[in-house]
Structure 1
Amino acid sequence: MVQTADTCLDQRHTRSGIALLASTLLSFLAASSAPTPLYPVYQAHWAFSPAMLTLVFAIYAFSLLAALLTLGKLSDYLGRRPVILAALLLEMLAMALFIEADGVGWLLAARVMQGFATGMATSVLGAALLDRNPERGPLFNSVAPQLGMACGALGCGMLVEWAPWPLHLVYLVLLLVFAAQALLLWWLPESISRRPGALASLRPTLRVPPQARGALWRTLPVNVAVWSLGGFYLSLAPSLIRAATGSNSALVGGLAVTALTLSGALSILWLRQHTAQQVLRIATTLLLIGVGAMLVAVQAGWLWLFLLASLVAGGGFGSGFLGALRSVMPLAHAHERAGLMATYYVISYLAFCVPALLAGVMARHFGLVATATGFATVLIGLTLVALIGLARRDHA
């Protein structure tokens, strides 16, 4: 009986630890998408161009990459809890900067701080989830960011439309959430032992275990496609909707991002029992249909079709994320997980921010509708490459 009680207690601790880690990852990604519905509002208040808007978005991603390159492996040496706590404290500071922002300079500073905090958090939280459940860890790592981005975009859009202090309230709510998670972290057991080499791990390196390199290369086309789509939505979708359909609602912009990310989360749950290869085939098919429909919606100015296309493309977004993650991450050993997770996110966030930044620059010269058309065409081509690669692997 004592053994059974101890086992039940350990299981409860494991479940509560997974819940805390997954909810913290969800909160970080919710905070990352929260500014998206506000971008047109910021533009109206502070009069900056689409190129500056994508710089605000991209500087977040670049600072996130800097954190991944320098701190992504740190928790493999110091343990998970200290790095998670440091990321939470930095994120709370970023929320305070958003609350105080009264110009684009403050917005840039807040996004830099937020990107660095999120870069610290994504690799360590992803590794910590894998520590506690190696089988379902990739599922948690896939669903939590998707749900987080959906909650952040939709929640912010609703607060902007119907609540007071539209430029501040969402960040105050998030600040309180992060403070509560930092307090709860003290009850989270450490999942990995300390080891020497923490200082050396700060040297910017990309580390992929030999046994995972082939899988990483094979999933690269679909991974680039889904993250490029996500970056475009989180930076320019609300402005594109305004330009293509004439809708000025911040809530509509939030709904577009929510449609993409929420259907992504649902597709992950739906496909969680399928093999990685099956998931990737479904992902590429949904991406082709969804991005093609989005292209038609932008040309015709149909908001309803844009939102429907976002739902379909979101299925490809989520399943592509799951398929790539499931193909790569289980191949790493325990002390390789944070390093591989950091490398995976470096590649992913380069695809997330660089195409979006280029799109913002091009929009200044050619307009958002023409830029979105070109962007969608490139995504369709990249997805076709991924689909052909999967077909060849099936027949090999």
Structure 2
Amino acid sequence: MSTAEPRRPASRAALFLLASIIVSFVAASTAPSPLYPIYQSRWHFSPITTTLVFAVYAVAVLAALLTVGKLSDHVGRRPVLLAAIAVQVVSLVIFVLAGGVPALVAARVVQGVAAGAATGAAAAAMLDIDRARGTLANSIAPGIGTGVGALLSALLVQYLPAPTRLVYVVLVVVLLIQGVGVALMAETVTPMSGALRSLRPEIRLPRAVRGPLLVVAPVAFAVWALAGFFAALGPALVRALMNSSTVAGGLSIFVFAVFGSAAILVLRDRSARTVMLTGIAALVVGMIITLVSVSADSIAGFFVGLAFGGVGFGGGFQGSLKTLTPLVEAHERASVLSLLYIVSYVGFGLPTVIAGFLVVHGGGLRRTAEEYAVAVIVLAVVALLGLRGTTRTAPAGPR
């Protein structure tokens, strides 16, 4: 299938716009993280509720990916992105007006639907414009969004008024500006028939991608499981270790994200297999350091572990993208990327809910963090064995 030639704005500007949309959507998803302790204090709910509110976002993203994840292949990237931005704005308005847990859940559900719709469309559009730069942008944008959303929210909570509202208002303004940019952007793919059929949930992969997806799935699951834990419970863990301000909690997510983005930039010219092996190794090292640091009440060690974990996240996710994207045609990109994000968001949400349950009914926050670190180490080792076992049969992507 042919793609439309980008005209307005220029390809580089369009690529930046699309990457910034992913940043904004991910930032909106992590912005509530520093606010959960405030919500918990006001509305008196447990860490289980915190992780459930956090995880319903992942469920909503999965539902959207399974239904509208392929829609942009048929109706075009721009209409899907514009609709997703509108829905995301609605979710942020619900956050602003929230008066209890039901409103938080509703906001997260709406937010997840918007993110699921936007993720496949924006990611595929960047590959339409420039496959190499698009792959890099797809890898780095989620990490930047994760860090920016958490730190911006923490700073606004700590130093400015209306702590449970201001960050959402800022994000609404950003999204409206991006919506104007999408309206001016040229379509990057030629629409085709079958839009209604594409809404039927189905798991279908091109034959060339099936083996490689099995190789990268454990890696993607592991790194997103770690990201989910730090986003949901990381700020509370930092405060438990150092009895510090909200900013320190947001900074923990920021450090994780910054080192993940740095790893992507440093490793961008390496082979997919090298990137994935580096990510797995960093993940294991980071979790070992985190495990020791939590046991020893060492906040400095904990942040070092966060940094290595971020490298693991960046390397693991970038390697997954570099493995899959060269193997698909333009009209298959949104479908394949949506499936990769499905694996990622299952890892993002499910283990985090289990962790929230263990915080309340197990050994508490610190003990749960230690057990989670061990689980991620085991999962990373399993991913490593899978990667090594398929080295001779699964393509590893270009250098």
Deviations 1:346-384 (A, max 9, x none): 111011100101111121111111211111111111111
2:200 corresponds to 1:203: yes
2:323 corresponds to 1:327: yes
Partner residue in 2 for 1:86: 83
- Amino acid in structure 2 at the alignment position of 1:178: L
Aligned counterpart in structure 1 of residue 341 of structure 2, from 325, 345, 360 = 345
- Amino acid in structure 1 at the alignment position of 2:249: G
Aligned counterpart in structure 2 of residue 223 of structure 1, from 216, 220, 231 = 220
> Are 2:9 and 2:184, in contact at CA under 8 Å, matched by a contact in 1?
no
CA-atom RMSD in angstroms: 1.6
2:231 corresponds to 1:237: no
Aligned counterpart in structure 2 of residue 266 of structure 1, from 262, 279, 297 = 262
Partner residue in 2 for 1:379: 376
Partner residue in 1 for 2:159: 162
> Are 1:91 and 1:114, in contact at CA under 8 Å, matched by a contact in 2?
yes
Match of 1:48, SS state, is coil
Match of 1:204, SS state, is coil
Partner residue in 2 for 1:62: 59
Q: Distance in 2 between matches of 1:325 and 1:230?
A: 17
Partner residue in 2 for 1:29: 26
Partner residue in 2 for 1:296: 292
Deviations 1:326-356 (A, max 9, x none): 1012211111111111111111101110010
Q: Distance in 1 between matches of 2:13 and 2:134?
A: 14
> Are 2:70 and 2:334, in contact at CA under 8 Å, matched by a contact in 1?
yes
Partner residue in 1 for 2:397: none
Q: Distance in 2 between matches of 1:82 and 1:219?
A: 31
> Are 1:138 and 1:325, in contact at CA under 8 Å, matched by a contact in 2?
yes
- Amino acid in structure 1 at the alignment position of 2:208: Q
Deviations 1:205-236 (A, max 9, x none): 12211101111101122111101001111111
Q: Distance in 2 between matches of 1:35 and 1:357?
A: 16
In structure 1, the gaps of 5 or more residues are 1-6
Q: Distance in 2 between matches of 1:357 and 1:236?
A: 10
TM-score, normalising length: structure 1: 0.95
Say if 1:106 and 1:248 are closer, same or farther in 2 by CA, change over 3 A. farther
Range with greater deviation from structure 2 (133-142 or 86-95) = 133-142
Say if 1:71 and 1:11 are closer, same or farther in 2 by CA, change over 3 A. closer
> Are 1:40 and 1:250, in contact at CA under 8 Å, matched by a contact in 2?
no
Match of 1:135, SS state, is helix
Deviation at 1:240, TM superposition (A): 2.1
2:189 corresponds to 1:192: yes
Partner residue in 2 for 1:313: 309
Aligned counterpart in structure 1 of residue 110 of structure 2, from 110, 113, 135 = 113
Partner residue in 2 for 1:257: 253
In structure 2, the gaps of 5 or more residues are 394-399
TM-score, normalising length: structure 2: 0.94
Deviations 1:122-168 (A, max 9, x none): 11100000100112211110111111111111111111111111111
Partner residue in 1 for 2:396: none
Give the total of aligned pairs: 388
Q: Distance in 2 between matches of 1:282 and 1:184?
A: 36
- Amino acid in structure 1 at the alignment position of 2:187: E
Q: Distance in 1 between matches of 2:48 and 2:391?
A: 42
